[in-house]
Amino acid sequence: MSVELSIVIPAYNEEESVVPCYWEVIEALKPLGKSYEIIFLDDGSTDSTFEKLNELSKTDNRLRVLKLRKNFGQSAALRAGFDHAEGRYIITMDADLQNDPHDIPLLLQKLESEDFDVVCGWRYSRKDTFSKKVYSKFANYLRKKLTHEQIHDSGCTLRAYKKECVNNLELYGELHRYIPAMLGWKGYRIGEIKINHRERQYGKTKYNWKRLFRGFLDLLVVAFWERYSVRPMHVFGGAGLVFGFLGFIISMYLGIMRLVYGRGLSDRPLFLVGILLIIVGVQFLATGVLADILLKIYYGQNGRKNYLI
Ligand code: UDP
Ligand code: MG
């Protein structure tokens, strides 16, 4: 039996929140009159999150509970949810009651009426700790600078998607924060609406500074990938040629000094610099060629395409 909507909710040690979260979602979806499934991903919880959900699922066959073997992280849990979702539209949200399920109909309405492929929530009045809000401001600022995607709040997971746009989306590490950017490169249309955000009632945030820092490193990968993944040779090769050329000029200069004016090379640090630049230049060129070959192999595999229709 296929359904219209899949609600995908990762939960990691949220034993107090998951049951109220389930009821809130049910309540919010009622007026829509659409068929739906709710998929909870227990992301390796060590508390009773899974038991609570499992118990609940015996009373409602629209509720599906998947248990990840260990804590793989929110990105991996979302990917697992996407892989198992059967709905034409997918909604993702958090299990900790910070998102308000009553925003789901608004997201869907925007998705359908304005023909977006994904509509993202914007927590314009965010209820988190001061340090988290500051970090988030900084991260959002950097992301806007480094990627071509400009929505306000990339860290908010309350979003509505058309199923097809997440089909081949690679999600690992902390990449869920950059889903809008990744979908943007593929040419999908991205919208956003302001949503309600609430304070965490139970448990605590799963994101410490270490994890947030990893998220920041993932941003660099994402930004680099966006710009250069198609032709790495353009960046590595370009840098290699510039370095190599500088090294060549220096060597020529030193060579002329030596041959014409008889100046020795042993007391000239520049000699070392010239040689180094040539070596680095050759290395960069080689890296560029290698990266290009890797991509050729990647796209040469069955079904890998560098375009979407
Ligand atoms: N989460 C998860 N796996 C993790 C970390 C978090 O499934 O490794 C879930 C968590 O249970 C919650 C959502 O992802 O439902 C968002 O996490 P959290 O509320 O800690 O993030 P914050 O709101 O503080 O940014
Ligand atoms: Mg939260």
Same domain assignment for residues 28 and 122: yes
Parallel, antiparallel or unpaired: strands 36-42 and 5-11:
parallel
Same domain assignment for residues 239 and 215: no
> Residue 201 C-alpha to ligand 2 middle, in angstroms?
9
Amino acid at 197: H
Same domain assignment for residues 215 and 246: no
Whether 305 is covered by a domain: the verdict is: no
Same domain assignment for residues 41 and 83: yes
> Residue 222 C-alpha to ligand 2 middle, in angstroms?
23
Which among 92, 100, 206 is the best mutation to test ligand 1's pocket, defined by most ligand atoms within 8 Å of the CB? 206
> Residue 224 C-alpha to ligand 2 middle, in angstroms?
28
Same domain assignment for residues 199 and 269: no
Instruction: State the total domains in the chain.
Output: 2
Same domain assignment for residues 140 and 263: no
Digit-by-digit pLDDT tens for the chain (309 residues) are 689 999 999 999 999 999 999 999 999 999 999 999 999 999 999 999 999 999 999 999 999 999 999 999 999 999 999 999 999 999 999 999 999 999 999 999 999 999 999 999 999 999 999 999 999 999 999 999 888 888 999 999 999 999 999 998 989 888 999 999 999 988 999 999 999 999 999 999 999 889 889 988 988 888 887 777 767 888 889 999 999 999 999 999 999 999 999 988 888 899 999 999 999 999 999 999 998 888 888 877 777 666 667
**Closest residue to atom 22 of ligand 1, CA basis:** 205
Parallel, antiparallel or unpaired: strands 118-122 and 159-162:
antiparallel
Ligand 1 binding residues, C-beta < 6 A = 10-12, 14, 43, 71, 73-74, 77, 94-96, 98, 205-207
Domain endpoint, select from 227, 245, 264: 227
d(CA 195, CA 169): 25
Whether 309 is covered by a domain: the verdict is: no
**Closest residue to atom 17 of ligand 1, CA basis:** 206
Tell me the longest C-alpha to C-alpha distance in the chain: 93
Whether 306 is covered by a domain: the verdict is: no
Q: Where are the alpha helices (DSSP H) in 229-268?
A: 232-261
Same domain assignment for residues 194 and 242: no
Packed helices 232-261 and 209-228: angle between N→C axes, nearest 10 degrees:
80
Domain with residue 105: its CATH number is: 3.90.550.10
Which two structure tokens, joined as six digits, stand for 203? Answer: 């448990």
Which two structure tokens, joined as six digits, stand for 292? Answer: 């290009």
Whether 261 is covered by a domain: the verdict is: yes
What is the ipTM score, two decimals?
0.98
Same domain assignment for residues 127 and 67: yes
Ligand having the closest approach to the CA of 129: 1
Whether 218 is covered by a domain: the verdict is: yes
Whether 97 is covered by a domain: the verdict is: yes
Please say whether the beta carbons of 250 and 277 come within 8 A: yes
Determine the structural domain holding residue 276 and report its residue range: 232-300
Please say whether the beta carbons of 77 and 68 come within 8 A: yes
Domain endpoint, select from 227, 253, 274: 227
Same domain assignment for residues 14 and 91: yes
Tracing tokens 């994101």 back to the chain, one arrives at: 207
Domain endpoint, select from 196, 227, 258: 227
Same domain assignment for residues 116 and 260: no
> Residue 93 C-alpha to ligand 2 middle, in angstroms?
10
Whether 59 is covered by a domain: the verdict is: yes
Same domain assignment for residues 79 and 176: yes
pTM of the model: 0.85
Same domain assignment for residues 255 and 279: yes
Whether 219 is covered by a domain: the verdict is: yes
